[in-house]
Structure 1
Amino acid sequence: MPANALYTDLSGYYDLMCADIDYPAQSNAICRLHQIFGNGGTTHLDLACGTGPHVRHFIDLGYTSSGLDINQPMLDIAAVRCPEAQFTLQDMSSFEVSEPQDLITCFLYSIHYNGGIEKLTACISSVHRALASGGIFCFNAVDKDKINNDLFVKHTAKQASDVFTFRSGWHYSGQGEKQSLRLSIEKANADATQVWNDEHPMVAVNFAELIALLTPNFEVHVFEHNYDTIKPWDTTAGNAIFVCVKK
């Protein structure tokens, strides 16, 4: 399959694939960080918004929320979930907004969908242009130097008579600016078992490099990858939440 084919062909299964994600906890945590570091505004844009679950929660938290993604089937589902929101088909490395945003988010490690350092740098510039004065950019990331290629996450879910098994894991060769997200979906019922495998190319960056890219335009704060508490990153963990305040 070509890059992102799995998401395109199986967009209807995306929410099932992400059924174990605690969207309210993630949204509430970023809302708290926005209250601490933000400018008090309530305009919000979610990059790589998928089917819009985070947008839904930010609307319920009182934000004027919108989203963008490069996958139209995902956006069609998001529009049904969040009829109040505006969704646009855009690449997060070169997007535009109609008005300045107080908060821009990018959940689920989707910042890595910028396919290389050049596109990641362009994304950071696009975010900076789109933010209002004192606005913040929040996202989570993985450090390429801390990736264990043998680790993966797995969960199962039922839909009607079908049982789905989802697996995903990072892979990094140990050099260069490319890593990948390896995905597998198994769909089984009494009649047959189907398996889809896909590998999504992503940008590889360590946290020192990422902070260096952000620092010219942002005041950068890095926190433990824990949506239940707000704790500074311990400088050793390979996952973290970044809170970037526009300079």
Structure 2
Amino acid sequence: MSANALYTDLSGYYDLMCVDIDYQAQSHCVRRLHQIFGNEGKTHLDLGCGTGPHVRHFIDYGYQSNGLDLNQPMLDIAQVRCPEANFSVQNMSNFEVSQPFDLITCFLYSIHYNDGIEKLKECIASVHKALNQGGVFCFNVVDKDKISNDLFVRHTTNQEQDDFTFRSGWYYSGEGDKQALKLSIEKTTAGETQVWNDEHPMVA
């Protein structure tokens, strides 16, 4: 299975995998940060937007919100969730926009998807170029030195006749600028279990 196979082939399960994430609380926090530290504009771009849950909340807050992602199946779901938004298939390392934004976000540690330090620098430069005067860029990161390779988050849920178990955890070798996000999905239907394992290489 390729590095992006899980993300591509199982995009329909992404929202189930992230069911415990409080997207509204995250979006509200960033909105308050923008109100305090940013300009008074209402244009927003979400990098690595996935299926668009954060975009949905920012639209509901009154923003003109858009998103970009590398994964078209994810964006297809996002477009249904947010028909008002514009979505584009772009790499956050070197994206381009037709007009600048007041707020740019990158939630859920997605900024680590930049392939190496140089690509991360390119991402930051692209963001800077895409921001309006007084605009704000909000993102979160994982401290590689605090990663516990044996620690995994696990939750279970069901959809129709299927039972799912999702596991995710960070891995860092202890040196270099690469870390990984390890993912596992178990799907049980009528007593038969299928298992997918994947590992996403990321910048540390």
| TM over 0.5, shorter chain | yes
For 2:16 and 2:129, the matched residues in 1 are separated by: 34
Residue 190 of structure 1, CA deviation = 1.8
Residue 146 of structure 1, CA deviation = 1.1
Paired residues, what number? 204
Q: List runs of 5+ in structure 1 lacking aligned partners.
A: 205-247
**2:176 aligned residue:** 176
Q: What SS does structure 2 have at the residue aligned with 1:24?
A: helix
**1:83 aligned residue:** 83
**2:118 aligned residue:** 118
For 1:159 and 1:203, the matched residues in 2 are separated by: 33
Residue 47 of structure 1, CA deviation = 0.1
TM alignment of 1:136-147, pairs within 5 A: 136-147=136-147
Residue 161 of structure 1, CA deviation = 1.1
**1:229 aligned residue:** none
For 1:94 and 1:158, the matched residues in 2 are separated by: 38
**1:227 aligned residue:** none
**1:12 aligned residue:** 12
| Sequence identity (%) | 77
TM alignment of 1:1-247, pairs within 5 A: 1-204=1-204
Residue 145 of structure 1, CA deviation = 1.1
Q: What SS does structure 2 have at the residue aligned with 1:145?
A: helix
Residue 196 of structure 1, CA deviation = 0.2
Q: What SS does structure 1 have at the residue aligned with 2:148?
A: coil
Q: TM-score, normalised by structure 2?
A: 0.99
Q: What SS does structure 1 have at the residue aligned with 2:140?
A: strand
Residue 115 of structure 1, CA deviation = 1.4
| Structure 1 residue identity aligned to 2:25 | A
| Structure 2 residue identity aligned to 1:46 | D
Q: What SS does structure 1 have at the residue aligned with 2:141?
A: strand
For 1:87 and 1:191, the matched residues in 2 are separated by: 39
For 1:36 and 1:188, the matched residues in 2 are separated by: 47
Residue 189 of structure 1, CA deviation = 2.1
For 2:190 and 2:88, the matched residues in 1 are separated by: 40
Q: TM-score, normalised by structure 1?
A: 0.82
Q: List runs of 5+ in structure 2 lacking aligned partners.
A: none
